[in-house]
Structure 1
Amino acid sequence: MSMSLIMLAVAAVFVGALMRSIFGFGEAIVSMPLLTLLPIPLQTSVSLIGLAGLTVAILTVVSGWRHIERPVLLRLAISTVIGIPVGLYVLNSIPSYIITSGLGIFLVGYGMYCLLKKRLSKAMEQPRLNSRGWVWPFGFASGVLGSAYNINGVPVMIYGTLRRWSPERLRGTLQAHFLISGVLVVIGHALGGLWTADAFILYAYSLPVILLATGLGVLLNKRIPAKKFERILFIIIIALGILLLLPRG
């Protein structure tokens, strides 16, 4: 790998880690599309973001620990374990262009959902997912998407929104889930043969900027209006999804 390619990959990791530390989620759904635009194998990108995501989770989980929804977290962890092998199978058996196209469609849909969810939530005076059983399919989806795309937090974010959790509860549960599922996903990547020398090289170069992004994100989270930045983030996610759907030469 050339140094310019390494620096571009590190920049993609930095942007994702910064989004994660500011909003509590969004690392992989920002970094993964950027990495797919570089001449880096998809498996290397997936394992890199898995390692980076676990690092960010370790650094951020302490601050939100008291707000964790512990019974839900246990069921999420169990169902995530079930979904991880399915995601690894998808990653290893389906051509990468299908995966990136699927990721693009998912990002557009998710970004549109996030932009519209406040309007939708105004019409909901009660949680839409009253049954505790709903946590199982969302946890399973988290395992599949986590091991295949490293976007294990998105299903939990959607579940928490539909349960109308408070921001503190949502953020705290997300960080704890990222830590648990991050360990499981990284182990799955290792057992699935996704770890490469290039992934560890990129991770070593990325580690300082991950630490920088985490500290900077904490400061920005306190000083910058989160609502305005959330809207910008979701617009960027939609734009990246559209970019992944464009034909390439």
Structure 2
Amino acid sequence: MTAEVIVLVIAAVFIGALMRAVFGFGEAIVSMPLLAMLPIPLQTSVSLIGLAGLTVALFTVFGGWRHIDRAVLIRLAAAAVIGIPAGLVVLRYTPAFVITFGLGVFLIVYGGYCLLKKTLSSAIERPLLNDRGWVLPFGFASGVLGSAYNFNGVPVVVYGTLRRWHPERFRGTLQAHFLISGVLVVAGHALGGLWTADALVMYGYSLPAILCATALGVYVNKRIPAKKFESCLYVIIIVLGILLLLPR
């Protein structure tokens, strides 16, 4: 890799880690599209963001551990274990341009959902999906999206929104899930042969940026209401998705 590419990779990882520390999620959603635009293999990007996400999770989970819904967390983890191999199969045997196109469509749909979720939540007078079994398909989807795209938090965000979780419970459970599923996803990447020398080297280069972004994000999160910036983040997600659909 050239020095310019290395700097751009580190910048993409830093921006993603900062979003994760400020908003509680969004790292892979921001970093993966940025990395997909650079001349590096998709598998290198996936394994790099998996390692970066696990690192951020280690530093952010402790603040909300008192508010974790442990019963839901266990079911999510159990279902994610089943979904992770399926995601690895998708990543290994699906052409890169198909995954990139799918990623773009997914970002547009997800960004649009997030822009509308406040309206949807206010329209729902009581929590949906009350049956405990509903958590299993969301956990499975988390495993599939986590191993293929590092989007292991997205299904949990959707589930928590429909269940109308209190913000503290939402953030605490989400961060704990990131930690557990992050370990499983990274292990899956390693066992699936996705780790490359370039990914490990870039992770080493990016580690100081990840630590700085995490510290800065925690600082910003405590002083600036993150909700005011969510709409901007979701618009950026949609724009990145559109860019991925354009011919390169």
Range of TM-score over shorter length: over 0.9
2: CA distance, partners of 1:100 / 1:58: 28
Post-superposition CA distance 1:194-232 (Å, at most 9, x none): 000000110001000100001000111122221111111
Alpha-carbon separation, structure 2, partners of 1:24 and 1:123: 24
Equivalent residue runs for 1:148-163 within 5 Å: 148-163=148-163
Which residue pairs with 2:3 in the alignment? 3
What is the alpha-carbon distance in structure 2 between the residues aligned to residue 59 and residue 121 of structure 1? 30
Q: Identity rate of aligned residues, in percent? A: 75
1:216 corresponds in structure 2 to 216
**Partner residue, 2:130:** 130
Which residue of structure 1 aligns with residue 192 of structure 2? Answer: 192
CA distance in 2, matches of 1:141, 1:176: 17
Question: Match of 1:61, SS?
Answer: helix
Number of residue pairs matched by the alignment: 248
One-letter amino acid matched to 1:28? A
Q: Which amino acid aligns with 1:50?
A: G
The residue aligned with 1:95 is 95
TM-score by length of 2: 0.99
Q: Report the secondary structure of 1:169's partner residue.
A: helix
Partner of 2:228: 228
Equivalent residue for 1:14?
A: 14
Residues 50-199 of structure 1: pairs in structure 2 closer than 5 A: 50-199=50-199
Superposition CA RMSD, Å:
0.6
Matched residue of 2:130: which SS?
A: coil
What is the CA-CA distance between 1:122 and the residue it aligns to?
1.5
* Matched residue SS, 2:222: helix
Q: Aligned to 1:164, what secondary structure does the other structure show? A: coil
Alignment correspondent of 2:34: 34
Q: Distance in 2 between matches of 1:17 and 1:226?
A: 15
Distance in 1 (CA, whole Å) between partners of 2:18 and 2:187 is 24
Q: Distance in 2 between matches of 1:219 and 1:188?
A: 32
Q: Which amino acid aligns with 2:45?
A: S
Is there any run of 5+ residues in structure 1 with no aligned partner, and where? none
1:187 deviates by 0.5
Mean Cα displacement is larger for which, 218-227 or 88-97?
Answer: 218-227
Letter in 2 for 1:96: A
1:23-49 CA-partner distances (Å, limit 9, x unpaired): 100000000000000001000000000
Q: Residue type matched to 2:40 in 1?
A: I
- Measured in 2, the distance between the counterparts of 1:25 and 1:196 equals 26
Residue 41 of structure 2 aligns with an amino acid whose one-letter code is: P
Alpha-carbon offset, residue 123 of structure 1:
1.3
In 1, the alpha carbon distance for the partners of 2:178 and 2:231 equals 23
Moved over 2 A (4+): none
CA drift at 1:131? 1.1
State the distance in 2 between where 1:192 and 1:94 align.
15
List runs of 5+ in structure 2 lacking aligned partners.
Answer: none
